[in-house]
Chains A and B, each alone.
Chain A
Amino acid sequence: MTDQPSAGSGEPIGPVTMLATPIRLDFDFTPGVAQSRFLRGLERGTFLGQRCPTCHKVYVPSRGTCPTDGVATTEDVELAGTGTVTTYCVVNVPFAGQSIEIPYIAAQVLLDGANLSFMGLIQEIPADEVRMGMRVEAVWVAPDELTPSLASVRYFRPNGEPDADYDTYKEYL
């Protein structure tokens, strides 16, 4: 309605061609029992997954059930901070609120012992040297900066091990 004379001006109002109705809603977030345990694990500097009692897959993080079997995951599994890059992308496009320099690498990392990969940054290696199968380890923030959030994991970096065999992660692409 920006180009229209105001109703109080005495001039006729032309047809309304646009109406902006800003909407904002605020919500509380409830992570739930399983995800709370995962977040509390991050606060201690560990990755805590949960195992499905039926298919024995380990989800990290678990949302409380096995999506395949529809049963509760109850057994906690503490995972080492090492894993394999299953796939990745080089981010060259800046975006609003960006807190990291481009280009950077966002990768899916399959933690050792887990059956679900999750996204992490890869650093301490030139972008053009990152590859599928690369072995990495988590770099955590300082102990007094750990919080129940993924911000506790600064990034992953190469851990020097030889690349993983494709067969070990081909199910997780």
Chain B
Amino acid sequence: MSPAAAGRTVRPVSIASFAQAQNVRRDDVHNEVEGLLPVIEEVFSTIGITKDDVDFICSGSTDYLIGGPFSFVMALDAVGVWPPRAESHVEMDGAWALYEAWVLLQEGKADAALVYSFGRSSLGDLGEILTLQLDPYYLAPLGPDIVSLSALQARALIDAGKASEADFAAIASRSRRDALGNPKAQVRQDVAVEVLLADDYVVSPLRRHALPPITDGAAAIVLAAGDKATRWSERPVWITGIDHRSETHSLGARDLTTSPSTASAAAMAGLGAGPVDLAEIHAPFAHQEIILKEALGLDDAVAVNPSGGALAANPLMSAGLIRIGEAANRIASGGADRAVAHATSGPCLQQNLVCVLEGA
């Protein structure tokens, strides 16, 4: 019942349940609350619990996607926080909300937590919105968009001899094909590398397929400790280690072909304590998977992104949390025993979170 590996966990915490919305290019029927409600209902009903069974709630979202203030407060209407309970929010991908909840469970201040995230990327101009996450003094005023910055990173990777455009296409081809087995994915297609290489450049060296789709989505996870973890799961999926690290906001001061923050987060999470069967890596741009695989020390025997990953569906603020949920589901169903999930945030992999999961 206790986690097999040392990791950094003091109190065993399990991923008890995971749900995600259908990932779509644009949902213009539902508002944020209506989009989130069925996801919250599913994450509870899957394990036969209600909101009254969790004693902490933490969400991840950003007002920059909806263009209105305090959207995370309104989103609570999808949960129904009565009687009142402890609640928190991070202006980050839901994976970081999960981290906050995990810390609270480590401290014994809660036994079960609801973590959710939501974001509709379709409401504004993502290129302009994501530029505003840059350093506001030196970089944001220049207006570099996320695709151009990612293209600089991809170019640096090619120049360093670490990858080719064909490698990017191969990753996209595999992701889209794997997504055929994921009914919630957005881009599901069996398409050959040669066909993808005929795509136009969006920003050289990135062709259309090397970019993530624009996705509206939401996701939720229930974390459980103590009796609840074993009561709510036939085969609990334990978080044996989790850590997140950040790099400087100054892109010019970084070697964009490496991800030292991912490597140190992985070390702190105890990833190297044993082999993993699969990795769910949050690599919004195809070339970033190559950088992250190296930082995580994964060899080619490890199945990467069997869900299709962020190239098949990239709901901002949720895509990282979904990686943890997808990895947990594969362990829960017996398809894997040990897995690593990764989430990223910021430009060119600035912030990274690594979560190691193990089946009982």
Task: In the complex, identify which listed stretch (A21-29, A93-101, A121-129, A138-146) lies at the interface while the others stay far away.
Answer: A21-29
Contact: B132 with A32, CB < 8 Å? Answer: no
Contacting B at CB under 8 A, from A17-44, are 19, 21, 23, 25-35
Contact: B141 with A68, CB < 8 Å? Answer: no
Alpha-carbon separation in the docked complex, A70 to B120 (Å): 21
Contact: A65 with B125, CB < 8 Å? Answer: no
- Total A-B contacts with CB atoms under 8 angstroms apart: 86
Among A25, A26, A70, the residue within 8 A (CB) of B40 is: A70
Contacting B at CB under 8 A, from A67-82, are 67-72
Contacting B at CB under 8 A, from A116-165, are none
Alpha-carbon separation in the docked complex, A93 to B233 (Å): 60
| Interface assignment of A66: CB less than 8 Å from any CB of chain B | yes
Contacting B at CB under 8 A, from A33-58, are 33-35
Contact: B80 with A66, CB < 8 Å? Answer: yes
Contacting A at CB under 8 A, from B61-85, are 64, 66-68, 74, 76-82
Encode contact with A along B27-40: 1 for CB under 8 Å, 0 otherwise. Answer: 11111111001001
Alpha-carbon separation in the docked complex, A35 to B31 (Å): 9
Contact residues in B for A83 (Cβ distance below 8 Å): none
Among A65, A69, A70, the residue within 8 A (CB) of B34 is: A65
Alpha-carbon separation in the docked complex, A67 to B124 (Å): 27
Contact residues in B for A70 (Cβ distance below 8 Å): 37, 40, 51, 77-81
> Nearest chain B CB to A149's CB is how many angstroms away?
16
Contact: A63 with B80, CB < 8 Å? Answer: no
Contact residues in A for B1 (Cβ distance below 8 Å): none
Contact residues in B for A68 (Cβ distance below 8 Å): 80, 82
**Which residue on chain B has the smallest CB distance to residue A67?**
B77
- Please classify how large the interface on chain B is, using the bins under 10, 10 to 19, 20 to 34, 35 or more: 35 or more
| Contact status of A25 and B30, CB under 8 A, knowing A63-B74, A65-B37, A70-B51 | no
Contact: A28 with B132, CB < 8 Å? Answer: no
| Contact status of A31 and B123, CB under 8 A, knowing A67-B76, A70-B77, A70-B79 | no
**Which residue on chain A has the smallest CB distance to residue B141?**
A21
Alpha-carbon separation in the docked complex, A25 to B67 (Å): 8
Contact residues in A for B128 (Cβ distance below 8 Å): 25
Q: B31, B67, B132 — which one has the most chain A CB atoms within 10 A of its CB?
A: B31
> Which B residues form the contact surface with A (CB < 8 A)?
27-34, 37, 40, 51, 64, 66-68, 74, 76-82, 120, 122-125, 128-129, 132, 136-137, 140-141
26 pairs across A/B with beta carbons < 8 Å? A21-B140, A25-B64, A25-B67, A25-B124, A27-B124, A28-B122, A28-B123, A29-B123, A30-B28, A30-B29, A30-B120, A32-B31, A32-B33, A34-B34, A63-B31, A63-B34, A64-B33, A65-B77, A66-B80, A67-B76, A67-B82, A68-B80, A69-B82, A70-B51, A70-B80, A71-B80
The 5 closest A-B pairs by CB, nearest first: A70-B80, A32-B31, A27-B67, A64-B34, A67-B77
